[in-house]
Amino acid sequence: MSSNTVISARNLSLTFQTGDGPVHALKDVSLEVQKGDFVSFIGPSGCGKTTFLRCMADLEHPTGGSLTVNGTSAEDARRSRAYGYVFQAAGLYPWRTIGGNIRLPLKIMGYGRYDQDARVKRVLELVDLAGFERKYPWQLSGGMQQRASIARALAFDADILLMDEPFGALDEIVRDHLNEQLLQLWERTNKTICFVTHSIPEAVYLSTKIVVMSPRPGRITDVIESTLPKHRPLDIRETPEFLNIAHRVREGLRAGHGDAV
Amino acid sequence: MRNLLPVLTIVATLLALWYAAAVALNAQWARDQAARAGETLTIPALINDTWSQDKPKLPAPHQVAVEIWQTTGAMVLEGRGFSKRSLFYHSWITFSATALGFVLGTALGIALAIGIVYNRTMDMSVMPWVIASQTIPILAIAPMIIVVLNAVGISGLLPKAMISMYLSFFPVVVGMVKGLRSPTPMQLDQMRTWNASANQTFWRLRLPSSMPYLFTSLKVGMAASLVGAIVGELPTGAVAGLGARLLAGSYYGQTIQIWSALIMAATLAAALVGLIGLIQRITLKRMGMA
């Protein structure tokens, strides 16, 4: 484990006890995420990609193996507010304005009044929502709401961004646009991003590292280091290199699916 | 005022039905009186009589209206608006018990709901008792409360307010338990990722989420409170209050007095529930939820 390792999982397992017997959501998962990585987790539903992300966030508790985040346990990392988490739904509070929603975690974490103002302004500009501070969530489109929720996760000083299918509910065009913005944001902020998705093009377009997972039991079947350059215009998706990586991801998914049936 | 016409139509229909019912119900007495005097009544005379009896089975609307005017507006004009014969006085007595009982009931209801949501033992044990408490007829338990509290030296406003509280805490408990539990697992997880304390989660998430539920409960609770206060006035020996007016009216067969007290109580209830509705609108609007 080098000093640049942000997340390190070794033989991580999580078994849920259910009425129909144990369910192996994760089994012997090992992975290292380096500082500044953009890691995508891709796989069919039930492969444990969200569970893995929730383990990093200390929202689920592994039943075996070890997991460190920023060199400490996941719980300590959560307590020291080491990560921002973006959920599948924007989850903005309807009774708070966009600014108020972004301010909420800052208030909870005890940032000073002026610091709060400055941070809200800064992250709203970062996600291209300047001028929407006083609007209520229902006055914004779905894509704008999700951008506001990303802004909320960026507002405090966390070096890690955990994103659980943040664009899953949005249409293709909005999704392309947000993917592009997310890449720019990652370039500017130099955060480490873990991103759960079930879209192959999205995973290949965004990531420096693609983790292919398969279900029953949830495990990692392939880890693909992307050879694409850091700067990626949208039309990079038509290059042979891109299609090559996408092909390898698809193969990985098919293989994982094959031996599970 | 788009809905003025439908409302007026309904009111007119109700008044027509009321007048017709007054004729039907009071006709027997009018005929008996006429027979005793050896007269036969023409139809107009019969109708006229049924609408102007002293102690009718069902007083006509204008009789009730006159009675209400004489015990409210007319007394105000004479400068005796708050005398013990005025309905304003009796309404005030009932209102003060209702308001105190409502405040106590709301406080008790919210406290119990917080306990039920945060404490597993309370969650498993309290709700059945809360429901059981509402299956006891209030008419049976009201005199007991009055007598017991009197025995320990508490009389006047508080015993009546206790009965109001007994009725009004129930909808608040049920609504607030539902409301405090309305945040989704995702919203609660989100608070966890920010390492928010239980206190912060309550004030910033659970309580605001419960507001729409709270106001619905408060409306039901306010109406229940008024019923409680009126019931509480019955066993106190008909001293004061709208309940006392109802009881006195029924002792002496003063149906007009009963009906005017009933209408006054209904008006009071409508005003109080309307007030809650207004506060609800303002609050939810300011919270951006309406």
pLDDT tens digits, one per residue of A157-183: 788 989 998 888 778 888 888 888 888
pLDDT of amino acid B70: 81
* Averaged pLDDT, A131-152: 89
* Averaged pLDDT, A35-64: 88
- Strand, coil or helix: what is A64? strand
* Averaged pLDDT, A129-149: 89
What is the model's pTM?
Answer: 0.81
Whether A94 has its CB under 8 Å from any CB of chain B: the answer is yes
pLDDT for B163-181, tens place per residue?
899 999 999 999 999 999 9
Residue of B nearest to A155 (CA): B194
Residue of B nearest to A89 (CA): B186
Q: What is the mean pLDDT of chain B?
A: 87
Range of weakest confidence among A94-103, B11-20, B243-252: B243-252
Contact A83, A58 (CB under 8 A): no
Whether B194 has its CB under 8 Å from any CB of chain A: the answer is yes
The minimal CB distance from B196 to the residues A95, A97, A108 is found for A108
Residues of A (43-82) whose Cβ lies below 8 Å from B:
57-59, 78-79, 81
pLDDT for B43-65, tens place per residue?
788 888 888 888 888 888 888 88
The minimal CB distance from B194 to the residues A91, A108, A138 is found for A108
Report residue A109: phi and psi, to 5°: -85, 0
Q: How far is CA B255 from CA A245, B30, B60, B164, B174, in A?
A: 90, 16, 10, 26, 38
A81: which chain B residues are within 8 Å (Cβ-Cβ)?
A: 194-195
pLDDT of amino acid A29: 87
pLDDT of amino acid A260: 44
Residue of B nearest to A97 (CA): B288
Q: ∠ CA A165-A168-A174 to the nearest 5 degrees?
A: 120
B194: which chain A residues are within 8 Å (Cβ-Cβ)?
A: 81, 104-105, 108-109
Whether A95 has its CB under 8 Å from any CB of chain B: the answer is yes
Whether B198 has its CB under 8 Å from any CB of chain A: the answer is no
- The answer to whether the CB atoms of A94 and B289 lie below 8 A apart is yes
Range of weakest confidence among A1-10, A25-34, A130-139: A1-10
Give the confidence band of A12 by pLDDT, cuts at 50, 70, 90: confident
Indicate the pairing of strand A160-164 with strand A83-86: parallel
Contact A215, A260 (CB under 8 A): yes
Considering only residues B42 and A107, tell me which one the structure prediction assigns the higher pLDDT: A107
